[in-house]
Amino acid sequence: MEKWFQSNLLLPSTKGIDKVDAVGLSSKSENISIGFCKIAARYYIFKSKLQEKIPSISEFLKVMKHYEIIEREFLPENEFYSKWKPLQTHSQQRSYES
């Protein structure tokens, strides 16, 4: 990965890159919910561009709801709530602000 960034002049040859940082996550301790949202958002934007569609927040939220439904079905209850509870709380706060 470093070599690709360096060959495309995106990274000086004297610098290294952490693989976790390269995909947009923080190498510092980060809430798993935030990390998941970052990756899901990047993937959604990537897919939208491939389909020549303009990404929208409302469509992204539908995608996130789909992930939530799948994980509610397959994750153990304590893992599901530890991941999704912070997102649900934040989502509810944002809807009150609107």
Tell me the pLDDT of the chain averaged across its residues: 75
What are the residues whose beta carbons fall under 8 Å from the beta carbon of 29, sequence distance 6 or more?
none
The domain ranges of the chain are 1-29, 31-97
Cα separations in angstroms, 27 against 1, 14, 58? 16, 20, 29
27-31, 44-48, 76-80: the lowest-pLDDT one: 27-31
What pTM, to 2 d.p., does this model score? 0.60
> Which pLDDT score is estimated for 95?
46
97 vs 56, higher pLDDT: 56
Give the C-alpha separation, 40 to 33, whole Å.
10
